[in-house]
A and B are shown apart, each in its own frame.
Chain A
Amino acid sequence: EAGVTQFPSHSVIEKGQTVTLRCDPISGHDNLYWYRRVMGKEIKFLLHFVKESKQDESGMPNNRFLAERTGGTYSTLKVQPAELEDSGVYFCASSQTLYSQYFGPGTRLTVL
């Protein structure tokens, strides 16, 4: 069974540009989560989808971040426009129940 996959593994962009991160959860997992870790800080929750609906987006830092989940399958996280403080590692996780989240390898975002 394939695990959670994320694309790209690394993205380097200029400040002000747009970047879209993608996450493919484990097949059949209705719950999908986005987290991020900025330099020197702990991993923090961004939002939680149940199928295609946003269950909790309390961790989204501001309106430059837009997350979608098409048809309850893969999810995208768009940052527009990107700022320097957005640099970090963005993790996606999925789960079948509300527990035991399975994490992807992360996307390292560098904003110059």
Chain B
Amino acid sequence: KQEVTQIPAALSVPEGENLVLNCSFTDSAIYNLQWFRQDPGKGLTSLLLIQSSQREQTSGRLNASLDKSSGRSTLYIAASQPGDSATYLCAVQTGANNLFFGTGTRLTVIP
């Protein structure tokens, strides 16, 4: 059974710092891995999707990497801003088409 773990559970950084969020999964037989952002009371916003054949994806200040063989992914956020404060969720998609989520990392960027 696929299990997804995210470390740390919470992170607080001063504005401008670069930071890394970690995600690990137990079963490497995945189709893709996604990073989502969730703001309080809002839905999930997809940030980056990495196909199983890819190593990384970039969007603006965000870079996500995938090491499928070791079951790990990282989300790198450059030059953090207060608007980046949110909960970041990692999810893997398996052959069953549904997503397996981690419990998330709550990020606070202090002005």
Number of A-B contacts (CB under 8 A): 55
Name A's B-contacting residues (CB within 8 A).
3-4, 9, 31, 33, 35, 40-45, 48, 55-56, 58-59, 91, 93, 98-106
Q: Does more than half of chain A's interface fall in helix, strand or loop, or is it mixed?
A: loop
B81 in the interface (beta carbon within 8 A): no
Chain B contacts of A100 at CB under 8 A?
A: 46, 49
Contact call A45/B103, Cβ cutoff below 8 A: no
Q: Nearest Cβ in chain A — how far from B6, in angstroms?
A: 9
User: CB-CB < 8 A to B4: which residues of A?
Assistant: 42
50-104 of chain B: CB within 8 A of chain A: 89, 91, 93, 96-104
Residue in B closest to A92 when the chains form the complex, CB atoms: B43
Contacts A42-B102, A56-B96, A105-B42 aside, 20 further interface pairs with beta carbons under 8 A come to A3-B43, A4-B43, A31-B97, A40-B103, A41-B103, A43-B99, A45-B98, A45-B99, A45-B100, A55-B97, A98-B97, A99-B49, A100-B46, A100-B49, A102-B46, A103-B36, A103-B43, A103-B44, A105-B41, A105-B43
